[in-house]
Amino acid sequence: MSNNPTELLYSRTHEWARLEGEEAVIGITWFAQKSLGDITYVELPRAGDRLTAGTEFGSVESVKAASDLISPVNGVVVAVNTALENAPETLNTAPFGDGWLARVKLADNPKDLMAAAAYEAFCAAEKH
């Protein structure tokens, strides 16, 4: 289940991006949701918000912790997954699927993101 889909790109702060032409869908990884535990709240960006790679665009809270969401891409939010407001646990059950966070119109090509294999190695190193 932790298998990171090979079609996604990954950041060092455990967000993923799926590139779809000039847009990207972004979310948090299985590793991220597992580290947080049961997610009880998600603060999402709004449509129209300008995201900058490497900077915060929202937050997630679990019973025990709160964590900033860090954008993996530069661009403008065109849609957000508002279903998460009432069902934040979807981030635990389907972080790569129904738990997507936002769709972004890209300002440029994403930089400094990892492919699945490199991300897995990165997580393995971070665990120890």
One residue of 7, 20, 22, 38 binding other proteins per CB under 8 A: 38
Q: Which stretch binds other proteins (CB under 8 A): 6-14, 22-30, 87-95, 111-119?
A: 87-95
Whole-number Å distance between alpha carbons of 52 and 50: 7
Q: Which is nearer to other proteins, 83 or 115 (CB)?
A: 83
40 near other proteins, rule: CB under 8 A: yes
Taking CA 88 as the corner, what is the angle to CA 122 and CA 49, rounded to the nearest 5 degrees?
75
Q: Where are the alpha helices (DSSP H) in the chain?
A: 30-36, 90-93, 116-127
Asked if residue 98 lies in contact with residue 26, where contact means CB atoms within 8 angstroms, the answer is: no
Q: Which stretch binds other proteins (CB under 8 A): 4-12, 22-30, 85-93, 116-124?
A: 85-93
- The residues binding other proteins (CB under 8 A) are 37-38, 40-41, 43, 59, 61-64, 66, 88-89, 92
